Chain A
Amino acid sequence: MVGSFRQSRRDVLKLGAASVAGGMLGSSAGRAAPKSLTMMHESSFVPPYDAYFKNQLASAYEKATGIKVNYEVVSVGSLITRVSAAAENGSGPDMTAIGFNWAFLFDEKFVDVSDIAAEIGKESGGWYESAQEAVVVNGKWKAIPFGNIGQLMNWRTDWFKEAGYQKFPDTWDELLEAGIKLKKAGHPFGFELGHGFGDNHGWLYPLLWSYGAREVEPDGKTIVIDSDETARAVDYCRRLYKETMLEDCLGWTDVNNNKAFLSEQISCTNNAESILWAAKKDFPEMAKVIDQSENPKGPKGRFHMLNPLCHSIFAHTEDKKAAKDFLRWLMSPKQAGAWYDIAVSYYQPFLHAYDDAPFWKVEPRNIPYRDALATAHLPGWPAPLSRAQSETIAKFVVIDMFAKACAGKSTKEVIADAQAQLKQIYRPV
């Protein structure tokens, strides 16, 4: 008994040593073998888009260079935690898709790709200015913008026509007017006012900006949310909610407005291309009477949400050159063009060479997404990228300011709340 215990203990030690050695051998052998790269992506709303990378792009690159490119798909909403983990541990995928202001958040953990960004821009007609807003940190490109997943007004042409509207209202005031008529006709609006990821920001920030209001000045320090402009935007939002919308928008997350629209509960919402996509697939009759339009104008102009999908290279990547070469190859017209094509226009290119690309003609109702790029900004604009900006989003400061007003609080109160929160968030550290 005792003997065997001793025996097995020694065996365990031997086994352990052998496996450690084996592991070391294995990894060094792996490095010497044909190289491989891993790209992490959030599962796309357009399944063929993910499949195209895996089946076409990756194999084409392997054939051309001998480098295998793995495409690691993570579930929707979990990308930020995965990127955080990879950046913090300094291990994991070599490249990743990113969004929002992550280029800033993970600044030191991403490789400077200014050189290839310049080459790609030169090759493909130049970058949209809005692309740079999200990826240029201290003068350096920390990601290569791929496409914007824009947000537009989705509306039912048949019901709007019945209410006397041949085209989508041009101003917020006209939209309110139309909404009142449509709600009376039994076709209310439904805009997300809850804690979702996108469909709430997609219209509330543009609304705020179009009234000339903002959270913070471009200096990134001065809080200016407490203004008459904000008050007007809040008052407008309350009216729009009370007089045109379904009551339960306050509790919606990103799926609710799609469901409500596709089940014919609402006549208008703010959303990405997913509603039209789903309708064309499952409700072809309804798809014929759906249209997409730019956000309405306010007293200070028309604005849209910037929701960029970009590609970054992790600083921990062993062979940075190989990763850069791959991204450079990926973004050349032959590859990128085909990848954009597959998703039709779900990802709107930030490169002017694609302004009149054939995929815009596949579904002309998507063209406003391209036009919206010129007036698209990140939440927190016009302040520069910052951690405070992330915290403001995470705390839903602006969204809740509007939502609380819709739920019945006074304009003064909700703005004071937002002002206090922003002061706390933007406090000098």
Chain B
Amino acid sequence: MTVETLAPALVRRRPAFSLQRWLERDSVFSWLMVAPPVAFLFALVGYPFFYGIWLSLLNRPVGKPGVFVGFDNFIADWHDAVFWQVVINTFVYTIAATLLKMVGGLGLALVMNQDFRFKNLTRALLLLPFIVPTVLSTIAWQWILDPAFSVINWSLREMGLAKAGPNWLGDPYLAMFSLIVVNTWRGLPFYAITLLAGLQTISPELYEAATIDGAGAWGRFRYVTLPLLKPVIFIVTMFSVIFTFADFQLIYVMTRGGPANATHVFATYAFDIAFGGGQFGQGASIALTMVPPLALIILAMAIYMRPAKT
């Protein structure tokens, strides 16, 4: 076959194949498959995020066109005493709740990893707080902590331990404490189940080897369980920090940021300003100030918790 006879055939066959071939190429096809989720992410996460940044640079009252004001909104936040209280509240809430969830969740996972009767049933029940919609369980908690109907205070009174019982949601410190407890209660199962999954991937042989080497229960936990669980702990903690930092429902239902802003966090404050106050720009600026500290926390955690290279 000569070049002359081959060439027309090539030319003829090319258009018929081009689209299919092009589509079947790995580099094209993979992008094609990835495109819908990327578009989805951009539409629902990326676009609102960048729109949020743009909004935060505007004086943008509801129902009116915005005026570009640069960093004025952020400067106003800086001079707002409530904003700083919100910053402190958010950090206290996040750190306390995350630590409690981490320690409690790990403990729970270790217990669940043992063999006992009704193991599977218990594991299923453990997930309950996580399954119940937040608003519903929060309303239940509201009753538990309600000044008039609190079952805790009723028990304390009946047992003669207190006359009136603590003022769970009325005292600024107790209100924060109560919210942390409820958040922990809600987030614990997520920690426990994820860590349990992590625990079950650890080969029993490692424990056997450690035991032979003379490690006790603590030694096995410290030198076998913990290092191998580290990546899982990292992932759940990251998720937990993000969710707790940006928590809204629980606080909005229980206290709406009261008493006197003692439990206001970024999300609730931003919501109040943006919708209650009709100041979209200001609200966006408050919500956006969440991003840098959150990014820093996650970065620090990533560095600290990264698996050691051996």
A123 contacts the other chain (CB 8 A): no
Could you tell me if A250 and B279 are in contact, using CB atoms closer than 8 angstroms?
A: no
Q: How far is the CB of A251 from chain B (nearest CB, A)?
A: 3
Q: Contact: B147 with A248, CB < 8 Å?
A: yes
Partner of B277, one of A2, A390, A417: A390
A403-417 interface with B by 8 A CB criterion: 403-404, 407, 417
Given A107-B63, A407-B172 in contact, is the A263-B258 Cβ separation under 8 Å?
no
**CB of B89, distance to nearest CB on chain A (Å):** 13
Q: Is the CB of B278 within 8 A of A105?
A: yes
Contact A395 B273 (CB under 8 A): yes
Decide if the interface of chain B is mainly helix, strand, loop or mixed: loop
Question: Contact: B279 with A193, CB < 8 Å?
Answer: no
Interface range for A:
35 or more
User: Which residue of chain B has the shortest Cβ distance to A397 in the bound complex?
Assistant: B82
Q: Which of A154-162, A253-261, A290-298, A299-307 contacts B (4 or more CB under 8 A)?
A: A253-261
Q: Which residues of B contact A424 (CB under 8 A)?
A: 76, 79-80
Q: Does B61 have its Cβ within 8 Å of any Cβ on chain A?
A: yes
Looking at B4-12, B96-104, B162-170, B204-212, the stretch in contact with chain A turns out to be B162-170
Q: Return chain A residues, CB-CB under 8 Å to B277.
A: 387, 390-391, 393-395
Chain B, range 141-176, C-beta contacts under 8 Å to A: 146-149, 164, 167-172, 175
Decide yes or no whether A381 CB sits under 8 A from chain B.
no
Q: Is the CB of A259 within 8 A of B79?
A: no
Within the complex, the shortest CB–CB distance from B64 to chain A, in Å, comes to: 7
Q: Is A429 an interface residue (CB 8 A)?
A: yes
Instruction: Please determine whether A250 and B260 come into contact, CB atoms closer than 8 angstroms.
Output: yes
Given pairs A194-B258, A250-B167, A390-B276, 18 additional interface contacts (CB within 8 A) = A80-B275, A81-B275, A194-B259, A195-B255, A195-B257, A195-B258, A248-B171, A250-B172, A253-B256, A259-B149, A260-B147, A263-B148, A263-B149, A391-B277, A393-B276, A394-B277, A395-B277, A424-B79
| Sample (9) of A-B pairs whose CB atoms are under 8 Å apart | A5-B23, A108-B64, A193-B259, A196-B258, A247-B147, A250-B172, A251-B168, A251-B258, A394-B276
- In the complex, how many angstroms separate the beta carbon of B150 from the nearest chain A beta carbon? 9
A343 within 8 Å of B by Cβ? Answer: no
Q: Are B80 and A247 in contact, with the CB atoms below 8 A?
A: no
* Cβ-based interface call for A354 (8 A): no
Structural contact, B147 and A246, CB atoms closer than 8 A: yes
Distance A87 CA – B64 CA, assembled complex (angstroms): 10
For the complex formed, measure the closest distance between the CB of B283 and the CB atoms of chain A, giving whole angstroms: 9
Nearest-neighbour CB distance to chain A for B61, whole angstroms, equals 5
Q: CA separation between A259 and B278, bound complex, in Å? A: 31
- Is the C-beta of A265 less than 8 angstroms from some C-beta in chain B? yes
A251: which of B23, B64, B80, B171 is its contact (CB, 8 Å)?
B171
Least CB separation from B257: chain A residue: A195
B149: A residues at CB distance < 8 A: 259, 263
CA distance A424 to B171 in the complex (A): 28
Q: Which residue of chain A is the closest to B279 with respect to CB atoms?
A: A391
Indicate whether A259 sits within 8 Å of B81 (C-beta atoms), given known contacts A391-B279, A394-B277.
Answer: no
Smallest Cβ-Cβ distance to B277: which chain A residue: A394
Residues from 215 to 252 in B contacting A, C-beta threshold 8 Å: none
Instruction: Tell me, in angstroms, the Cα distance from A194 to B146 when the chains sit together.
Output: 14
A253 to B20, CA, bound (A): 64
Asked if A124 is an interface residue, CB under 8 A from chain B, the answer is no
Pick the contact of B171: A5, A250, A253, A421 (CB < 8 A).
Answer: A250
Q: Which residues of chain B are near A80, meaning CB under 8 Å?
A: 275-276
* Contact present for B148 and A259 (CB under 8 Å): yes
| Docked CA distance A369–B166 (Å) | 36
Nearest-Cβ distance from residue A419 to partner chain B, whole angstroms: 11
Among residues 270 to 285 in chain A, which have CB atoms less than 8 Å away from a CB atom of chain B? none
Inter-subunit contact A394/B272 (CB<8 Å)? yes
Residues from 162 to 195 in A contacting B, C-beta threshold 8 Å: 193-195
Q: Is the CB of B20 within 8 A of A105?
A: no
Contact B63 A251, beta carbon cutoff 8 Å: no
